[in-house]
Structure 1
Amino acid sequence: MAQQDVLIIGAGPTGLVLALWLHKQGITVRIVDVSEGPARHSRALVVHARILELYRQLDLVDELQACGYQLPATNLWVEGQHRAHIQMSDVGKELTPYPYILMIPQDDHERILENKLQSLGVLVERGTEFLQYVDRGSSVIATLRRKIDGSETACEAAYIVGCDGSHSAVRHNIGVKYEGETYAPLFYIVDLEAEDDESPLFNGEGHLRIQDDKFTMLLPFSDSRHVRLVGTIIPDGDQKVDMSTPHPDVTFEDVLPDIKKSSGLMIKKVNWFSTYRIHHRVAEKYHENRAFLVGDAAHIHSPVGGQGMNTGIMDAINLAWKLATVIKSPNMNKESQKKLLDSYETERRAFALNVIGTTDHGFTVLTDQGFFSRLLRNWIIPYFVPFIMKFHFGRTRIFRGVSQLVCTYRGSPMSQIAVGSEKIQPGDRLPWAKTESSDNYSTIHIVSWQLHVYGDQRPDLEKWCSAHSVQLTVFEWDQHHGKVGFKKDAAYLLRPDQYIAGIYEGASIASSLSDYFSSHGLAF
């Protein structure tokens, strides 16, 4: 019976990221997947800025950028009329080193992640089905079945993580409710190549077209004529149906008339066509003792804004450092272990509920046939969004929300209690601050606790960090640090996922840092 620190069920982006981040921290992993390879008909196409920031920790960004496509702009068309052109390139240039939306098909994304994992000596066990697990108290024992011959084996691990999608077998094994709703509109997605014509839709930009209360979204991802086209088939009657309701068989020929009417595309080649239902659901809890749920196994929502895969990847990175901390700290007391692992659900479930609320509203606006929704999508949004994008506040507000830079863990058990109403508070993502002499993101290639000081170096902090194996970086004070929201001479304690755990000032910073670690049962 093989014994691992963590058994990961599912080798989509969330499972692969979890395996990579655990391995980076010295944790042994086993990752299995029932499929024989990455999904060919992938839906996810967007990698947002916050994910690229975190991908710096494993040196993944350059390869993704080389394989992906930076969306320069998007356009809105209503009933055949061009209503808005929204510039997307460099829209977040003051917020992040990656101020754009990166388009890369999920199957290519998965190959990059899996190749990286393989280069580290960890192979995905394909064609291996998870059947069940038993929690033994100090470990779990999972039963796995090889599809090739039906043979069953047992695997013992300290923890098991379900990254196995919306129909998660791990979630069913735990017995967790997955409540929410299924929308009646049926989505289709087409990977196609266009004829070499003069269509304004093939200019390398995104295009959202609304025609007869249906919408199509055209997204380029390699060049201007190789695109993904996403659309809806909206039935009459109620907009929500039971999850178990099978959707009707639909072919590309069935939707081609609507595509031609709304866009006038001259299609050269259809590489593949797929249909699917849209749900918004969230698991009632994210873990039970030694079993955890990540990504679609824990939450699922509409594809509006490209949030799903990105949210799941952030789940994986959040969980990875917490599992690693517990596994590598055998003397950590049970109460502290529980507090740390419980914070995964506290932090990530709250964010998932927020994402579901936002995407649900966006999906309703795009598909609802009521008067107010029509007014919003046909008239208000086409004029309001381009108007607010002219202003710095509007651009940064929209980009922060879409790119998940807005994600915060304020109020988390792992965040120091905030004092006052400062711009930067414990639980926030570390803001990016690049000056002529420094870039505070230069240190985030490591997965460990860090301390940033903006101002003068303190000998006592250097001594404390050396004794506790916490990397200390001191940045010479610059007025841009103050503009971003940092305080001069303050110390910012960073978690391994680069969120701020605490902010400390005054003469007793070293003592306050010790109090934080001891109160959370953390010892280094």
Structure 2
Amino acid sequence: MRMKPQTEVLIIGAGPTGLVLALWLQHQGINVHIVDQAHAPADKSRAIVVHARIIELYQQLGIAEDLLALGYQLPATNLWVHGQHRAQIAFQSFGRELTSYPCVLSVPQDEHEKMLERHLNRVGVHVQRGTKLQGFVDHGSSITATLFHEGDESSNTHEASFIVGCDGAHSAVRHAIGAKYEGETYKPLFYIADIEGKGGMVFNGEANLMITNKSFNLIVPYNTEGHARLVGITRLNNDDNPDIDSPDHDNKINFEDVRPQIMEALQIDIEKVNWFSTYRSHHRIADKFRSGRAFLVGDAAHIHSPVGGQGMNTGIMDSINLAWKLATVLKKTQMSDEAKHRLLESYEFERRAFALAILKSTDTGFTSLTSQGIRGYILRNWLIPLLIPLAVRFEFVRKQIFRGASQLICNYRGSSLCQPSTGVVQSGDRLPWVQISKEDNFSTLRDLCWQLHVYGDPGPRIDQWAQKAGVKLFTFPWNVRYAEAGLIQDAIYLLRPDQYIAGIFEGLSVESKLDEYFLARGLC
């Protein structure tokens, strides 16, 4: 007979995905242990963009304001083609009717991680550093992991109910479960730099995407004072260079090598380069996100081109999706094994589908920006400069751009957790955000729990059902603004702990329909 595991969830990797997973699990009363191979937190980072959907979800644990205070809200992105300004995408106006955070937040990943870790430390959880996973055995009812501690070169075993790989592209957990990591490495060599400079046209507190015939450069400011992140691809690698794919070739490139192409894209005055590095980007996705009691999250499961700043945000949403499901399985001892299995299986169904969609869109975007053929030339020189300024004149297009970029568009339609529905807003969708006067319907979502929303009159028996079932009920007086957002008057909206709609119930016998929903999924 096996002993009770010493940890409920063992987390491998303390990047943003691992730290978020630990915070969300601990908040739900789950005992976690988190380890990381690095001996200290990172002091440099590639990721810098945090999107609106992540900030919304950070409200649940009361850390959204801390992140906002740490970062800088980008008001807009400018498009430049051969040094000519062609369009401006104004995030604050594009998303102001969609979320209380109509922005793109610029915050370096290392600062983001430190903030998350401070919150984790405050609740008594500390990252065990200098520790890597050597392997694990899945016993069916628990796992036994072997951890190697680099400080004293010792190993020990650690018992846990579940193990989650948040350990990046070279994930030891992914290798252990035998998941394939299908995809390719992009040929262009990326560079990334932390710069300081001046120039009112570029160092103006807004992001700037600069396109030329053969490359692109992206400047993302940290503030309005000329401190920014510069990302691009080099034009130094070509088919005539036999050493293009060698690490030695990559490491020999410095900022002065790429400065001429930056100046060609746009005349800017770069006064200081704080650090500079090059890297290869990949687009890959694991063929499975789960095997038994092991799960993959973030870069361990999928990795994307940097176009759109989607990678880290997608990984964080993986963690929040998985956290409430693991917590439910661990806390609801009365659930059948089959019900637990189905709930945990929904993680892969929901998150792998979305990761595939993000991978395809970022790959298309990157390929379009970097293709050296005639199609790429036409796209960069004619279609992008002409179509984008025209498209952003239309409100519908502006909203779709913001929904897609901010990940508000993410939905789980077709999941086993969705009660079938039709209409503009359906089961599996993010609940539409609606603000009336100074109040909005997301204020109730700070609670990480199942809840009911009714826009209008809930009827006399719903309150009794909610009290009996232990599900919070919130009612909102009907307003035409709710109809404009796609919500139905007097309908019952069942919301999951991660703020997505599980079911929309109308008509007679709503209470029995709700009972059937929970009973069919073993959640009652």
- Which range, TM-score by smaller chain? over 0.9
* Aligned residue in 2 for 1:485: 486
1:115 Cα offset (Å):
0.6
The 2-side partners of 1:331 and 1:198 are apart by: 64
Quickly say closer, same or farther: Cα 1:497–1:244, change in 2 above 3 A.
farther
1:246 Cα offset (Å):
7.5
Q: Are residues 1:315 and 2:336 paired?
A: no
1:438 Cα offset (Å):
4.1
Q: Are residues 1:157 and 2:181 paired?
A: no
Q: Deviations over 1:196-246 (max 9, x none)?
A: x545211111111123411111110123310011010243349xx999987
Q: What residue ranges of structure 1 are gaps of 5+ in the alignment?
A: none
Q: Deviations over 1:464-486 (max 9, x none)?
A: 11112111101111111111111
* Aligned residue in 2 for 1:221: 222
Q: Deviations over 1:175-205 (max 9, x none)?
A: 11001011110000000111xx545211111
In 2, are the aligned partners of 1:204 and 1:223 still within 8 Å (CA)? Answer: yes
The 2-side partners of 1:431 and 1:225 are apart by: 36
The DSSP-based 3-state class of the residue aligned with 2:57 is: helix
1:72 Cα offset (Å):
1.5
The 1-side partners of 2:171 and 2:501 are apart by: 32
Quickly say closer, same or farther: Cα 1:198–1:498, change in 2 above 3 A.
closer
* Aligned residue in 1 for 2:515: 514
The 1-side partners of 2:399 and 2:244 are apart by: 38
The DSSP-based 3-state class of the residue aligned with 2:223 is: strand
In 1, are the aligned partners of 2:73 and 2:106 still within 8 Å (CA)? Answer: yes
From 320, 340, 348, give the equivalent of 2:343.
340
* Aligned residue in 2 for 1:288: 291
The 2-side partners of 1:199 and 1:433 are apart by: 36
Q: Deviations over 1:266-313 (max 9, x none)?
A: 322211111111111100000100000000000001011110000000
Q: Are residues 1:325 and 2:328 paired?
A: yes
Structure 1 stretches of at least 4 aligned residues deviating more than 3 Å after TM superposition: 241-247
The 2-side partners of 1:144 and 1:70 are apart by: 40
Quickly say closer, same or farther: Cα 1:508–1:111, change in 2 above 3 A.
same
Q: Are residues 1:277 and 2:280 paired?
A: yes
The 2-side partners of 1:136 and 1:457 are apart by: 47
The 1-side partners of 2:83 and 2:455 are apart by: 53
Quickly say closer, same or farther: Cα 1:213–1:148, change in 2 above 3 A.
same
Stretch of structure 1 that moved more, 298-307 or 459-468: 459-468
The DSSP-based 3-state class of the residue aligned with 2:46 is: coil
* Aligned residue in 2 for 1:66: 69
Identity of aligned residues (%): 56
AA at the equivalent of 1:11? A
Stretch of structure 1 that moved more, 152-161 or 449-458: 449-458
Alignment of 1:118-517 (within 5 A): 118-194=121-197, 197-234=198-235, 235-237=237-239, 248-249=250-251, 250-418=253-421, 420=422, 422-436=423-437, 438-517=439-518
1:89 Cα offset (Å):
2.3
Q: Deviations over 1:411-460 (max 9, x none)?
A: 10110112x4x111100001011213742101010111001011113332
Quickly say closer, same or farther: Cα 1:74–1:436, change in 2 above 3 A.
closer
Quickly say closer, same or farther: Cα 1:147–1:478, change in 2 above 3 A.
same
In 1, are the aligned partners of 2:219 and 2:230 still within 8 Å (CA)? Answer: yes
Q: Are residues 1:9 and 2:12 paired?
A: yes
In 2, are the aligned partners of 1:49 and 1:98 still within 8 Å (CA)? Answer: yes
The DSSP-based 3-state class of the residue aligned with 1:21 is: helix
1:385 Cα offset (Å):
1.3
1:83 Cα offset (Å):
2.4
AA at the equivalent of 1:462? D
1:38 Cα offset (Å):
2.8
AA at the equivalent of 1:425? Q
In 2, are the aligned partners of 1:303 and 1:359 still within 8 Å (CA)? Answer: yes
AA at the equivalent of 1:161? V
Quickly say closer, same or farther: Cα 1:198–1:306, change in 2 above 3 A.
closer
* Aligned residue in 2 for 1:89: 92
In 2, are the aligned partners of 1:493 and 1:503 still within 8 Å (CA)? Answer: yes
Quickly say closer, same or farther: Cα 1:7–1:244, change in 2 above 3 A.
farther
AA at the equivalent of 1:508? S
From 34, 44, 50, give the equivalent of 2:37.
34
TM-score computed with the length of structure 1 as normaliser: 0.95
Alignment of 1:95-114 (within 5 A): 95-114=98-117
AA at the equivalent of 1:441? F
AA at the equivalent of 2:155? E
Quickly say closer, same or farther: Cα 1:247–1:350, change in 2 above 3 A.
farther
Q: What residue ranges of structure 2 are gaps of 5+ in the alignment?
A: none
Quickly say closer, same or farther: Cα 1:57–1:443, change in 2 above 3 A.
same
Quickly say closer, same or farther: Cα 1:198–1:282, change in 2 above 3 A.
closer
The 2-side partners of 1:499 and 1:447 are apart by: 12
1:247 Cα offset (Å):
5.9
The DSSP-based 3-state class of the residue aligned with 1:352 is: helix
Quickly say closer, same or farther: Cα 1:354–1:243, change in 2 above 3 A.
farther
The 1-side partners of 2:157 and 2:248 are apart by: 35
The DSSP-based 3-state class of the residue aligned with 2:33 is: strand
The 1-side partners of 2:120 and 2:16 are apart by: 12
The 1-side partners of 2:105 and 2:464 are apart by: 42
The 1-side partners of 2:196 and 2:428 are apart by: 44
The DSSP-based 3-state class of the residue aligned with 1:50 is: helix
Q: Are residues 1:48 and 2:51 paired?
A: yes
1:142 Cα offset (Å):
0.6
The 2-side partners of 1:471 and 1:243 are apart by: 56
AA at the equivalent of 2:238? D
The 1-side partners of 2:124 and 2:511 are apart by: 39
1:84 Cα offset (Å):
2.4
The 2-side partners of 1:21 and 1:336 are apart by: 22
AA at the equivalent of 1:502? G
Stretch of structure 1 that moved more, 83-92 or 349-358: 83-92
Stretch of structure 1 that moved more, 480-489 or 296-305: 480-489
Stretch of structure 1 that moved more, 81-90 or 486-495: 81-90
The 1-side partners of 2:437 and 2:191 are apart by: 48
